[in-house]
Amino acid sequence: MAFVLAIIGRPNVGKSTLFNRLVGKRLALVDDTPGVTRDLREGEAALGDLQFRVIDTAGLEEADAESLTGRMRALSERAIGMADACLFLIDGRAGVLPQDAAFAELLRRRGADVILAVNKAEGRAGEEAVLDAWRLGFGEPLGISAEHGEGMGELYAALAPRVDAEAARETPRGEKPVQVAVLGRPNAGKSTLVNALLGEERLLTGPEAGITRDAISVHMDWDGLPIRMFDTAGLRRKAKVQDKLEKLSVADALRAVKFAEVVVLLADVQHPFEAQDLKLADLAEREGRAVVIAVSKWDLAKDRQGRLKALREQFEAAVPQLKGAPVVPVSAVTGEGLDKLRAAVLKARKVWETRLPTAKLNQWLAEMVSAHPPPAPSGRRIRLRYMTQAKARPPTFVVFGPKAEDLAESYKRFLVNGLRRDFGMEGTPIRLLWRKGENPYAGKAGRRGRNARLAARKGS
């Protein structure tokens, strides 16, 4: 396992800004509002030649254990146990506050390996805060500026021996993880589902809608399968999204879809396939991602067999471009359906990566055209001469023929549905492109034949 560094501290001391600098991209949401970060966010960090994992945490605050703030604190304390070392960050402009001293005592009780850093340490006030931080009892504090990149050399010097020691024990990496994004409306149970798959309360959950703000990436072993799973913020209708932080959360969730290979769309069994659910399915299809439908809170469903059949029919009627997408009932409370969800994700990715031989495609095209010839606009029938697969992920095919681009949309759908049915590509987006002209290889063969004949004549 790679060395893991957790960034710990009060709200608004600059933890997410430092996290973004270490991972080299704007992964964590940053705003002047305290408490923007709620979940644990992990990322692959680099500092010089050091490679390690870093965890951004919610701000440590004194609060009732059952409150949202208290549950956020519990997650941050969990990160202390997950990490090889903690970077304890304080605010150089505010100086050492009583809360900082209380959290320093917490870290000591946990026996954590602590690197103390004073952020926003520019100027005289920052220098004084660095001197004052000695009294926290963690040795020499580092004066840094996460925003401006100052003090990164000192941080490198503190981390290098720790990272090198862990690297000596690190085992070789296995296969590349499957990228899975969980989408859904607010309160559909996305974080609860991910926690159930992880087997621990890694993500913040509760009755409040909109708890998750960032698209949280977690690495997990799902019954032997390496997975990188993105838990995203609940997505509402665009007209309802007015708050600045919610807009940032929505953008973060949409970015997670672009990273994903498989999108798990989580629909609430009590309110399934509302307009926003269908828009999310359409979004995943437009982005070319494999789609699996998970119906949450299945432990509350009645007449299960009939209900499942009706849900499948309802989804296929509403989103025909994803006809055949697996619909898997799950319950994060009882664990029901989680094994079937894993199988559906694996199958969806395999279909998404489908590659078909050109000869087989052209035999299929000839049979389709023979059984149902293309229409004849202006009295001249369009001839489809050749077909090949341009790429997978998602399956993308190119059809060549004079005026092929003039085919009616209904005939294009006929061919796409045929591909889906005859080659077992249910539930995955299929792209069909059209190009003018003949078989692109026919000209090469013809030229080779003419050249051979000319050579024969010269020889005689």
- The pLDDT tens digits of the residues spanning 103-137 come to 888 888 888 899 999 998 887 767 888 888 998 98
User: Which stretches does DSSP call E strand in 176-296?
Assistant: 178-184, 216-222, 225-231, 262-268, 290-296
Q: Does residue 450 lie in a domain region? A: no
Q: What is the largest CA-CA distance in the chain?
A: 102
Q: Are residues 247 and 159 in the same domain?
A: no
> Do 57 and 158 share a domain, yes or no?
yes
| Distance separating alpha carbons of residues 308 and 331, to the nearest angstrom | 14
**pTM over 0.75, yes/no:** no
Q: In terms of residue numbers, what domain contains 158? A: 4-169
Give me 293's structure tokens: 């439908």
Domain boundary pick from 136, 169, 202: 169
- 36 and 103: one domain? yes
User: Is residue 83 in a domain?
Assistant: yes
Counting residues of the chain whose pLDDT is more than 70, the rounded percentage is: 77
pLDDT score at 67: 57
Do 132 and 73 share a structural domain? yes
256 and 393 inside one domain: no
Q: Find the CATH number of the domain harbouring 414.
A: 3.30.300.20
Q: Does residue 227 belong to any structural domain of this protein?
A: yes
Question: Do 248 and 227 sit in the same domain of this protein?
Answer: yes
Work out the number of other CB atoms within 10 angstroms of the CB of residue 1.
11
Residue 245 lies in a domain: yes
- Residue at a domain's end among 169, 190, 206: 169
User: 392 and 253 share a domain?
Assistant: no
State which of 330, 352, 374 marks the end of a domain: 352
Per-residue confidence (pLDDT) for residue 331, from 0 to 100: 93
Same structural domain, 422 and 312: no
Does 119 share its domain with 263? no
In a domain, 460, yes or no: no
Confidence at 253, pLDDT banded by 50, 70, 90: low
How many helices (H) and strands (E) would you count in the chain? 13, 15
Tell me, what CATH number does 262's domain have? 3.40.50.300
For residue 216, the one-letter residue type is I
Total number of domains in the chain: 3
Residue type at position 253 = A
Encode pLDDT of 88-103 as tens digits. 999 988 888 988 888 8
346/382 same-domain check: no
Model pLDDT for residues 27-40, shown as the tens digit of each residue: 544 444 444 454 57
Tell me the pLDDT tens digit for each residue of 371-427.
999 887 677 778 888 999 999 999 999 999 887 778 888 999 999 999 999 999 988
Is there a domain that residue 373 lies in? yes
- Establish if 389 belongs to a structural domain: yes
Q: How far apart are CA 281 and CA 263, in angstroms?
A: 9
- Angle separating helix axes 358-371 and 409-422, nearest 10 degrees: 130
Name the DSSP letter for residue 35.
T
Q: Are residues 220 and 337 in the same domain?
A: yes
Q: Are residues 87 and 184 in the same domain?
A: no
Determine contact, residues 144/88, Cβ cutoff 8 Å: no
Residue 452 has pLDDT above 60, yes or no: no
Q: Is position 60 within any domain?
A: yes
